Structure 1
Amino acid sequence: MRLTSRAALVALLVGAPPAWAQAPTVTAPAGSIEGSAQGTVRVFKGVPYAQPPVGPLRWKAPADLPAWQGVRKATAFGPACVQPRGRAAGIYTNPPEKMSEDCLTLNIWAPRDANNLPVFVWIHGGALVGGYGHEAMYDGARMAARGAIVVSINYRLGILGYLAHPGLSAESPEGISGNYGLLDQIAALGWVKRNIAAFGGDTGNVTVAGESAGALSVMYLMASPRARGLFHKAVAQSAYMISTPELKRSAHGTPSAEGAGTQIMTALGAKDLAGLRAMDAETLTDGAAAKGFGPWATIDGKVLMRQLVDTWDRGEQAPVPILAGFNSGEIRSLRVLLPPAPANAAAYEAAIRSRYGDLAEHYLALYPAKAIGEGMLANTRDALYGWTSTRLVIGQTAIGQRGYLYLFDHGYPAADENGLHAFHAAELPYVFGTAGTTPPYWPKIPDTLAERRLSDAMIGYWTAFAKTGVPIASGQPDWPAYGKDASYMAFAQAPRPGRKPFPGMFALHEAAVCRRRAAGDQPWNWNTGVISPTLQKTAGCR
Structure 2
Amino acid sequence: MRTGLFANAAFAVILASLVAAPVGALAGQPIVRAPAGAVQGVKQDGLEIFRGIPYAAPPVGQGRWKPPAAAPAWPGVRDATAFGPACFQPPPRPGSIYADPLEAMSEDCLSLNIWTPAKARKAPVLVWIHGGSLISGASSEPMYDGVAVARRSGVVVVSINYRLGVLGYLAHPELSAETADRVSGNYGLLDQIAALKWVRGNIAAFGGDPGNVTVAGESAGALSVMYLMASPQARGLFQKAIAQSAYMISSPTLRETRFGHVAAETAGVAVAAKLGANDLTALRAMDAKTLTSAALMAGFQTFATVDGKVLPRQLVETFDRGEQAKVPILAGFNSGEIRSLRILAPSPPADATTYEAEIRKRYGDLAEDYLKLYPSTDIPESVLLAPRDSLYGWTAERLVAKQTAVGAPGYFYYFDHGYPAAEAAGLHGFHASEIPYVFGTADKTPPAWPKIPETPAEAGLSTAMIDYWTAFARSSAPKAVGQPDWKPYGEGRAYMAFTDAPRPGEHLRPGMYELNETVVCRRRAQGDVPWNWNVGVVSPPLPAPVSQCR
Same fold, TM-score > 0.5, yes or no? yes
Match of residue 530, structure 1, among 523, 537, 543: 537
2:407 aligned to 400, 403, 406, which one? 400
Aligned to 2:79: 73
Deviation above 4 Å: which 4+ runs of structure 1?
3-8
Question: Where do 1:6-21 residues align within 5 Å?
Answer: none
- For 2:22, the equivalent position in structure 1 comes to none
Tell me if 1:36 matches 2:56. Answer: no
User: What are the equivalent positions in structure 2 for 1:338-357 lying under 5 Å apart?
Assistant: 338-357=345-364
Q: Distance in 1 between matches of 2:93 and 2:393?
A: 28
Q: Deviations over 1:403-423 (max 9, x none)?
A: 000000000000011100000
Residue in structure 1 matched with residue 329 of structure 2 by the alignment: 322
Q: Which residue of 143, 157, 162 corresponds with 2:149?
A: 143
Alignment counterpart, residue 129 of structure 1, candidates 119, 129, 135: 135
Query: Are residues 1:242 and 2:249 paired?
Result: yes
Q: SS where residue 422 of structure 1 aligns?
A: coil
Partner of 1:539: 547
Please give the residue correspondences for 1:221-232 in structure 2 after superposition, counting only pairs within 5 Å: 221-232=228-239
Distance of 2:13 and 2:227 partners within structure 1:
53
Q: What does 1:355-394 align with in structure 2 at a 5 Å threshold?
A: 355-394=362-401
Q: Find the counterpart in structure 2 of residue 116 from structure 1.
A: 122
Q: Paired residue for 1:92?
A: 98
2:453 to 421, 446, 450: 446
Deviation of residue 68 (structure 1)? Answer: 2.4
Whether 2:470 is the aligned partner of 1:463: answer: yes
What is the alpha-carbon distance in structure 2 between the residues aligned to residue 514 and residue 302 of structure 1? 24
3-state DSSP of counterpart to 2:508:
coil
TM-score by length of 1: 0.96
Does residue 1:188 correspond to 2:161, yes or no? no
Worse-matched range after superposition: 341-350 or 310-319:
341-350
Q: Contact 2:58–2:71 (CA<8 Å) still a contact in 1?
A: no
SS in 1 for 2:43: strand
The aligned runs of 1:280-299 (5 Å cut-off) are 280-299=287-306
| Aligned mates of 1:113, 1:460 — CA distance in 2 | 20
**Cα distance in 1 between the residues matched to 2:370 and 2:288:** 46
User: Which deviations, in whole Å up to 9, do the C-alpha atoms of 1:215-265 show, x marking residues without a partner?
Assistant: 000000000000000000000000000001000100001100001101101
Matched to 2:547, the amino acid is: A
Residue 281 of structure 2 is aligned to residue 274 of structure 1: yes
Separation of aligned partners in 1, 2:297 and 2:117: 43
Structure 1 residues 142-174: Cα deviation after superposition (integer angstroms, max 9, x where no partner): 111111000000000000000000111111111
1-structure distance, mates of 2:389, 2:93: 27
CA distance in 1, matches of 2:13, 2:323: 60
SS in 1 for 2:38: strand
**SS where residue 221 of structure 1 aligns?**
helix
Q: CA RMSD in A?
A: 1.6
1:514 and 2:521 are equivalent in the alignment: yes
Report the residue type matching 1:236 in the other structure: A
CA contact (8 A) 1:56 1:278 kept: no
> What is the deviation of 1:67?
3.1
Tell me the residue number matched to 1:152.
159
When residues 7 and 135 of structure 1 are mapped into structure 2, their CA distance, relative to the original with a 3 A threshold, is: farther
Query: Could you say which residue in structure 2 is the equivalent of 1:103?
Result: 109
Instruction: Give the superposition deviation at 1:52.
Output: 2.5
What secondary structure, in the 3-state scheme, does the structure 1 residue paired with 2:115 have? strand
Give the Cα–Cα distance (whole angstroms) in 2 for the partners of residues 405 and 163 of structure 1.
34
- Tell me the CA shift for residue 5 of structure 1: 7.7
CA contact (8 A) 1:85 1:95 kept: no
Distance apart, 1:6 and its partner CA: 11
Query: C-alpha displacement at 1:22, in angstroms?
Result: 3.4
Corresponding residue SS for 2:213: strand
Distance 1:197 1:69 in 2: 21
Deviation at 1:438, TM superposition (A): 0.2
Please tell me the residue identity of whatever aligns with 2:30: P
C-alpha spacing 1:467/1:518, structure 2 compared with 1 (3 Å): same
C-alpha distance in 2 between matches for 1:53 and 1:97: 20
More displaced stretch, 100-109 vs 30-39 = 30-39
Deviation at 1:86, TM superposition (A): 5.2
- Counterpart of 1:231 in 2: which secondary structure? coil
Q: SS state of the match for residue 538, structure 1?
A: coil
Task: Spell out, residue by residue over 1:330-350, the C-alpha distance to the aligned partner (whole angstroms, 9 max, x if none).
Answer: 000000011122121111100
Alpha-carbon offset, residue 55 of structure 1: 2.6
CA deviations on 1:253-308 (whole Å, 9 max, x unpaired) are 11000011011011111111111111100000010111221111001111000000
Using the alignment, how far apart are the partners of 1:424 and 1:302 within structure 2? 32
1:25 paired to 2:46: no
Structure 2 regions of 5+ residues with no counterpart? 1-6, 15-24
Residue 88 (structure 1) shift: 2.3
Q: Secondary structure at the match of 1:236?
A: strand
| 1:142 counterpart letter in structure 2 | A
Where do 1:195-274 residues align within 5 Å? 195-274=202-281
In 1, are the aligned partners of 2:92 and 2:99 still within 8 Å (CA)?
no
1:331 partnered with 2:338: yes
Q: 1:244 touches 1:299 (CA, 8 Å); kept in 2? A: yes
Corresponding position of 1:13: none
* Structure 1 position 7, deviation (Å): 12
Q: Distance in 2 between matches of 1:110 and 1:251?
A: 45
- 2-structure distance, mates of 1:5, 1:496: 66
- Farther-moved stretch of structure 1 (297-306 vs 57-66): 57-66
8 Å Cα contact 1:104/1:184 also seen in 2: yes
